[in-house]
């Protein structure tokens, strides 16, 4: 009789061993063929519930918050209390008493299996038997090493799927950003004039890969050109898209009217229509006629460009509110100046003025004005002037990072 019992026990152990081995092979094959998560969970549930007779199970996984991926033998929403206790453990624990009276007896568990990556929990598995009055060693405890192995394989596979999906999404986003960056680089002029009459240079440093800043040099005819600079409120893709739309409207409208005031009014309507009150654009535009040496400009809420002429620095402030802030601009004040060469313009965006150093001090307009004046008095070229300003910004900010787009445009009218 004892011999028969031993044989039966050995046969049962062999059968269980075969079940475990075949289960590992099954789930490994499914992982290798990139089976859906639902299929992996179904294999896992089938092995534990129908082959190893685990009466109750809940698998919690972290993905922007804890939630049950799989459960049976209990209510799936009743896990908050035991989870708070489980977070204290990094290895397998008996948890019959965890939760105390707050955890219903009919939904109690015997074992918790944490799955960690480095110091972060990826998942918790709670195991128990449907019949809590069962005599002897429970299946949850008896098959614990195997269940731990199977759980680790499952959770790691699911996590790898998540990471692979995120990696693909990131790669797609990066390709889109690279394309947007390439397109945006076309929007700003790649070549600026460097002649005995006109010397220009610009610096364009997006905080992100793409920018909400914009500058341009627009030849209008043989004797007249326009320069402009703009800054969309906000950063990143949304700001860049609005700026691209604005640039297209500007280039279309500037050919339709010779009046800067009319141009500003029509641009404002376009920004209102496009931004729908969610963003606005600060904008400065100037038109210069070489024959009459007359400069017309409008400053729509932008930091005032600096004009150095005859040893004096003038801030170009005349204009109106930023574009997109009002449905209709009630009054536009157009500035008109006679230019006596040599004269130098400096236009810039707020990323320069508002740049902070390690002491949380802003670079500020006064410091920029002094630096600008010094460079002009030393007869620096436009390129030398922009380089000097950027070098000073880098020195000023110290270990601090840029927190906004940086754009500079220098225009020297030499004759």
CATH 3.60.40.10 segments of the chain: 188-413
pLDDT beyond 60 at 99? no
C-alpha distances in angstroms, 393 versus 190, 233, 351, 360, 377? 23, 22, 10, 14, 20
Interval 159-207: pLDDT, tens: 888 887 777 777 766 676 666 666 666 778 889 999 999 999 999 887 7
Asked if the model's pLDDT at residue 13 lies above 90, the reply is no
Query: Does CATH place domain 2-165 in 2.40.50.140?
Result: no
- Rounded CA separation 53/56 (Å): 9
- pLDDT tens string 316-328: 999 999 999 999 9
Which of 129-138, 297-306, 320-329 shows the lowest per-residue confidence on average (mean pLDDT)? 129-138
Span of 13-22, 169-178, 211-220 with lowest mean pLDDT? 169-178
Scanning 110-228, the segments in alpha helix (DSSP H) are: 139-142, 144-187
Question: Does the global pTM surpass 0.85?
Answer: no
Do residues 344 and 376 make contact, with C-beta atoms less than 8 angstroms apart? yes
Spatial separation of the C-alpha atoms in residues 17 and 145, rounded to whole Å: 12
Look at residue 3 in the predicted model and tell me its pLDDT.
61
Do residues 218 and 235 make contact, with C-beta atoms less than 8 angstroms apart?
no
Q: Where are the domain boundaries for CATH 3.30.450.40 in the chain?
A: 2-165
pLDDT for 321:
96
Q: What is the CA radius of gyration of the chain?
A: 35
Q: Does domain 188-413 have CATH number 3.60.40.10?
A: yes
The mean pLDDT of the chain is 85
* Average pLDDT value for residue range 358-372: 95
């Amino acid at each position: 009789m004892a011999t028969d019992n031993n044989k039966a026990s050995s046969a049962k152990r062999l059968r269980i061993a075969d079940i475990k081995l075949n289960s590992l092979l099954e789930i490994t094959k499914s992982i290798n063929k990139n089976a859906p998560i639902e299929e992996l969970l179904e294999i896992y549930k089938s092995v534990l519930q129908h082959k190893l007779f685990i009466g109750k199970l809940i698998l919690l996984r972290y993905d922007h918050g804890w939630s049950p991926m799989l459960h049976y033998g209990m209510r799936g929403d009743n896990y908050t209390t035991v989870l708070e206790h489980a977070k204290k453990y990094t290895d397998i624990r008996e948890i019959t008493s965890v939760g105390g009276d707050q955890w219903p007896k009919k939904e109690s568990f015997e074992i918790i299996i944490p799955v960690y990556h480095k110091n972060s929990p990826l998942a918790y598995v709670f195991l128990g038997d449907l019949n809590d009055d069962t005599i002897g060693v429970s299946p949850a405890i008896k098959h614990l090493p195997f269940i731990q192995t199977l759980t680790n394989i499952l959770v790691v596979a699911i996590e790898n799927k998540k990471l692979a999906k995120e990696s693909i999404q990131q790669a797609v986003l990066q390709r889109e950003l690279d394309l947007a960056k390439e397109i945006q680089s076309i929007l700003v002029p790649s070549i600026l004039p460097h002649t005995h009459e006109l010397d220009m240079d610009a610096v364009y440093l997006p905080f992100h890969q793409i920018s909400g800043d914009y500058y341009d040099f627009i030849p209008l005819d043989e004797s007249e050109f326009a320069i402009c600079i703009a800054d969309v409120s906000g950063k990143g893709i949304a700001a860049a898209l609005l700026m691209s739309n604005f640039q297209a409207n500007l280039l279309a409208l500037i050919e339709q009217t010779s009046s800067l005031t009319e141009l500003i009014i029509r641009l404002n309507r376009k920004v209102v229509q496009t931004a729908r009150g969610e963003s606005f654009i600060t904008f400065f535009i100037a038109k210069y006629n070489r024959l009459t040496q007359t400069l017309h400009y409008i400053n729509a809420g932008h930091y005032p460009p600096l004009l150095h002429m005859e040893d004096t620095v003038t801030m170009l402030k005349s204009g109106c509110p930023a574009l997109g802030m009002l449905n209709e601009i009630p009054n536009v004040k157009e500035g008109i100046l006679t230019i006596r060469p040599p004269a130098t313009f400096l236009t810039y965006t707020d990323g320069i003025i508002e740049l902070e150093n390690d002491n949380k001090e802003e670079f500020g307009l006064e410091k920029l004005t002094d630096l600008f004046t010094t460079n002009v008095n030393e007869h620096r070229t436009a390129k030398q002037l922009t380089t000097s300003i950027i070098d000073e910004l880098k020195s000023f900010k110290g270990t601090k990072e840029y927190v906004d787009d940086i754009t500079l445009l220098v225009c020297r009218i030499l004759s």
